[in-house]
Amino acid sequence: MSGAPLLEIRDLEVVFDTPAGAVQAVGGVSLDVHEGECLALVGESGSGKTQAMLACLGLLAGNGRTQGSVRYAGQELVGADEAALQHVRGTGIALLSQDPMNTLTPHLRIETQLVELLLDRGLATRAEARERAVQALREVDIPDPAARLRQYPHELSGGMRQRVALAIALMGRPRLLLADEPTTALDVSVQARVLDLLGNVCASGLGLLLVTHDLGVVAALADRVAVMYAGRLVEVAPVAELFAAPRHPYTAALLAAVPRLRGDEYGRLPAIAGTPPRPGQPAAGCAFAPRCSHAVQACRETKPDLRGLEPGIDVTVACHRPLSAVAQPA
Amino acid sequence: MAELLLETPPTRRAGLWLDAWASLRRSRAAWVAALVLASIVVAALVGPSLSRYAIDAVDWTQASLASPPSFANGHWFGTDTNGRDLFVRVWIGTRMSLLVAVLATVVSVAVGVAWGATAGYLGGRVDGLMMRFVDVLYALPYMFFVIILTVVFGRSLVLIFLAIGAVGWLTMARIVRGQALALRQREFVEAAIALGLPARTVIARHIVPNVAGTVIVYATLTVPQVILFESFLSFLGLGVQEPLTSLGRLVAEGALEMETSPWLLLIPSIVLGTLLLCLNFLGDGLRDALDPRRPR
Amino acid sequence: MSVAAPALLQVDGVSVRFPLRNGVPGARERTVDALREVSVEVPSGGRVGIVGESGSGKSTLARVVLGLRRADAGRVLWDGEAVDYRDAARLRRLRREMQVVFQDPFGSLDPRMTAGAAVAEALQALRSPVPRAAERVRVLQALEEVGLAPGLADRYPHELSGGQCQRVAIARATIARPRLLVCDEAVSALDVSVQAQIVNLLRDLSERHGMALLFISHNLAVVRYLCDSVVVLHRGHVVEQGSLAEVFERPRDAYTRMLLAAVPEPDPALARRRARG
């Protein structure tokens, strides 16, 4: 992880103008994604994780505004004009979204959708593009790729559709892949293959920003994890560190609430009381304080900043009273 | 579980209809349309009595029978080729068109919604039978149908309402049936069935209110159709008869004289156009206002 | 439970066939077996999990039990008596004993009805409806039991969070004290922290009122915290059924083993070891 980061997000802020006034969906998010690294952005619905990712590509809904800085390979994307963004999309940064049925156009053959980008940008001749398409399908483990090119999306199974969507995303040889809940719509038996493929993508040197709520997926794929709550980062840590010793009470509670297949107990799940705040209801202090069992008065009054813990540990946490590594059951 | 009770502070809600009203007030296009529409209705009601001419009175005092609009002689909209005052005739015609349109739309909404919701909700064979019946009626040359009705029962306004309503509900039934079919698959409808509610309650409480938005928009589109259809009937001599008139009739008559007396076409057309435009805006506004998920 | 007492619900050799259209006009119409001779028992007060992937027929099973879809073969027994789904009046009585919670928290509530009205409707469906004055009290009690403040009774679904909507759906389903609650992916659309709350709530309600659960889910881990026995469905077949411990610790069927192995566990060391292996 040497050299300049591929994607550099600084103080990213996303605000939506609604009839009820401006609503802040994302605030003060700073993240780096390096080449060959998988950074997982974890959060529950409404935490702003998807909006943060869309803002990177300038794909927010019409009433959304972005502030701060997003740099891809040194190029500023916030405020960049549409032509510049177009150039980065596809060939620089590619997007893999949740539902493969919505990503693929139903009435076009797989081939058309694969070669579209290359032909549009004049990056290849039709024959070359076709060659690359076969190659791309082979890379995502699609059997008999030449025959698949002639098929339509509805003729493929869900898992295969998502792999085709991945192949399409990789056609422009991007350096960074943004994946939004790439396995949520899939059955567990096909999830595993898509996760493997995404792992290979990272291993081949691409940066991967994985947006998900599924901590199982995070554990399988991520190198570093950034946890979001109510539009803000609460903890950023290497994956092993985060799962072994979560420092933010929210991270800890979230990990505890995940139902597991292994373990002796068949008892109750440790739930987090209360409901996540809705966007647009800013709290004076820490947004998690009303649901936090460790909260003190200070937590309700001042917003904690994201800061490093001890020297030598690559963990940053936004909490007035971070949990100590010792107090955590491993 | 006590800790969960701290969820959200209680607020008292005004109810969907009041919300919808407030939202309609806030939509400028719909509100302006409603005001214009209201003034047209008022004009149609009181307009004729403001003029000193009667609807069938021929003014022989003018140089020609068809005289252009003038304030001096009291023919504010001019006179038609028979020398009758157009101001009075336009507002009487508006009154008639609105009456036919509203009554026929009410008939088609009532029958169409009930028929379509029932067919869509019950589905299967019943749905097939009910909709084939609609198809058969569609296929009937309804012009003959109307002519036969007129011949058998004689010409009357009631018959026009019935005839137009009888045609209008077919499309409404199809639209509502499609929506009901989709709603039938929705979990809240299945949940209501699973509660053990009888079919008529589920239809009345869960299906019909949720198609209201579509129905209202379609109804506002039906009104212009009905107005045009009525003028067609009148043209054939089956609709409103002289000396009574309707907007459709006035436009049709005006079109014949548009080179010599353009006001005869222009004035009824402007009233008719404004009326239809307002109805469309109002329909859009109503649909948005009736959607509970729209942010207010 | 005495040996002679019949199970509360018995699904006995139920098969369901779907017409299959592959979207190509003029293509020959085929059928696919959604369920093939499926037999499942839910004892009174018992909590049975039905797990399977999409296309396993698990939701079809729920719909057959609820009478929302007809079975092509087999029968459903309630208290040992075969249910005649064509007898509308008896079916409506049965439905009061057997309630349902669906997956989509927003979709299972009528967007034009407040939370309170939705719950009250369940009372009005009873054969002896509760008087209006008592109705409001009962509704608020039911909302409180599922952990909702009384102030939320006057809210519309779009003004509630997903978890709150699901609580309303549970209150509506349980206010008449059914003996069986069918949960069709009832926690699948919820966030992890909310999902845990709802799982615990269902467990509490089941234990407090002796209410049986037929809990349908694609998530094996959730079933582990809620049910006492599991049925694994694969392409319309029951491939394995047994107690929680039997199925999770000593799975006999290859498909069950594959399913258990495929679930990504929130444990980096474990997840990576599996990915490499």
CA distances for B184 relative to B171, C44, C69, angstroms = 20, 31, 13
Render pLDDT for A63-91 as a digit per residue (tens, 0 to 9).
888 999 999 988 999 888 888 888 888 88
d(CA A191, CA A158): 10
B5 CB within 8 Å of a chain A CB: no
Best residue of B5, B195, B206 to probe chain C, by most C CBs closer than 10 Å: B195
Do residues C224 and C248 touch, judged by C-beta distance below 8 A? yes
Contact (CB<8Å) A290/B6: yes
pLDDT (0 to 100) of residue B168: 79
More confident residue, B22 or A195: A195
Model pTM score:
0.81
Burial C76-100 (b: 16+ CB within 10 A, else e): bbbeeeebebeeeeebbebbbbbbb
Per-residue pLDDT band for B246 (boundaries 50, 70, 90) equals confident
Do residues C8 and C173 touch, judged by C-beta distance below 8 A? no
Do residues C13 and C64 touch, judged by C-beta distance below 8 A? no
d(CA B5, CA C147): 6
**Which residues are CB-contacts of C138 (< 8 A; sequence separation ≥ 6)?**
C123, C130, C175
CA-based nearest residue to B289, from B19, B33, B29 = B19
A267: closest chain C residue by CA: C225
Written as one string, the DSSP assignment of C128-164 is: SPPPHHHHHHHHHHHHHHTT--GGGGG--GGGS-HHH
pLDDT (0 to 100) of residue B8: 37
For residue C229, the cross-strand partners are C48, C243
Do residues A270 and A257 touch, judged by C-beta distance below 8 A? yes
For chain C, list residues with pLDDT below 50: 1-2, 23, 276-277
Per-residue pLDDT band for B294 (boundaries 50, 70, 90) equals low
Best residue of B125, B186, B188, B202 to probe chain C, by most C CBs closer than 10 Å: B188
Q: Is the pLDDT of residue B69 over 80?
A: no
Contact (CB<8Å) B4/A20: no
Render pLDDT for C242-251 as a digit per residue (tens, 0 to 9).
998 899 889 9
User: How many angstroms away from the CA of C38 is the closest CA of chain B?
Assistant: 22
Render pLDDT for A156-207 as a digit per residue (tens, 0 to 9).
888 888 999 999 999 988 999 999 988 888 888 888 888 999 999 999 999 9
C183 CB within 8 Å of a chain B CB: no
Q: Is the pLDDT of residue B9 over 70?
A: no
B190: closest chain C residue by CA: C68
Residue located via tokens 């959607």: B291
C204: closest chain A residue by CA: A268
Render pLDDT for C26-41 as a digit per residue (tens, 0 to 9).
555 667 888 999 999 9
d(CA A221, CA A243): 13
Do residues C197 and B4 touch, judged by C-beta distance below 8 A? yes
Partner-chain residue, chosen from C102, C151, C204, that has the shortest CB–CB distance to B11:
C151
Q: Is the pLDDT of residue B64 over 80?
A: no
Across B151-176, average pLDDT: 79
pLDDT (0 to 100) of residue C1: 45
| Contacting residues of A for B3, CB less than 8 Å apart | 273-274
d(CA A31, CA A238): 13
Helix (H) or strand (E) holding A307: strand A307-308
Most confident of A11-15, A310-314, B105-109, B237-241: A11-15
Contact (CB<8Å) A261/C220: yes
More confident residue, A329 or B54: B54
Partner-chain residue, chosen from B4, B295, B296, that has the shortest CB–CB distance to A274:
B4
Q: Is the pLDDT of residue A250 over 90?
A: yes
Q: How many CB atoms sit inside 10 A of residue A11's CB?
A: 11
Q: Give the end-to-end CA distance of chain B in Å, rounded to a whole number.
A: 33
pLDDT (0 to 100) of residue C276: 46
Contact (CB<8Å) C221/A261: yes
pLDDT (0 to 100) of residue B59: 67
Render pLDDT for A111-160 as a digit per residue (tens, 0 to 9).
998 998 888 888 888 899 999 999 999 989 888 898 899 998 888 888 88
The interface predicted TM-score (ipTM) is 0.84
Coil, helix or strand at residue A180: strand
User: How many angstroms away from the CA of C87 is the closest CA of chain B?
Assistant: 13
User: How many angstroms away from the CA of A42 is the closest CA of chain C?
Assistant: 11
Do residues A58 and A85 touch, judged by C-beta distance below 8 A? yes
Coil, helix or strand at residue B207: helix
HEC-encoded secondary structure of A141-156: CCCCHHHHCCCCHHHC
d(CA A56, CA A79): 11
d(CA A158, CA A146): 19
d(CA C26, CA A323): 64
At residue A293, what are phi and psi to the nearest 5 degrees?
-85, -10
Contact (CB<8Å) B295/A275: no
Length of chain B: 296
Across B209-214, average pLDDT: 84
Helix (H) or strand (E) holding B47: helix B28-50
- Of the CA atoms within 13 Å of residue A173, those in its CB half-sphere come to 7
At residue C17, what are phi and psi to the nearest 5 degrees?
-115, 135
User: How many angstroms away from the CA of B188 is the closest CA of chain C?
Assistant: 4
Q: pLDDT exceeding 70 applies to what percent of chain B?
A: 83
d(CA A101, CA A153): 8
Do residues C10 and C61 touch, judged by C-beta distance below 8 A? no
A240 CB within 8 Å of a chain C CB: yes
C125 CB within 8 Å of a chain B CB: yes
pLDDT (0 to 100) of residue A71: 92
| Amino acid symbol at B80 | D
pLDDT (0 to 100) of residue B250: 81
Tokens of A112: 């058309």
User: Would you call B35 exposed, middle or buried from its count of C-beta atoms within 10 A (0-12, 13-18, 19+)?
Assistant: exposed
CA distances for A23 relative to A16, A277, C111, angstroms = 5, 13, 24
Render pLDDT for A221-243 as a digit per residue (tens, 0 to 9).
999 999 999 999 999 999 999 99
d(CA A270, CA B145): 71
Q: How many secondary structure helices (H) and strands (E) does chain B include?
A: 11, 0
CA distances for A220 relative to A32, A191, C272, angstroms = 20, 11, 6
Contact (CB<8Å) A262/C203: no
Tokens of C162: 């997903």
Render pLDDT for A262-296 as a digit per residue (tens, 0 to 9).
776 667 888 888 888 877 777 788 999 998 988 89
CA distances for B135 relative to B116, B129, B138, angstroms = 13, 10, 5
The strand order across the sheet containing A307-308 reads: A93-96, A176-180, A207-212, A38-42, A224-229, A232-238, A316-317, A307-308
Residue located via tokens 């296929």: B139
Q: How many CB atoms sit inside 10 A of residue B227's CB?
A: 26
d(CA A178, CA C155): 37
Q: Is the pLDDT of residue B295 over 60?
A: no
What is the rounded average pLDDT for all residues in chain B? 78
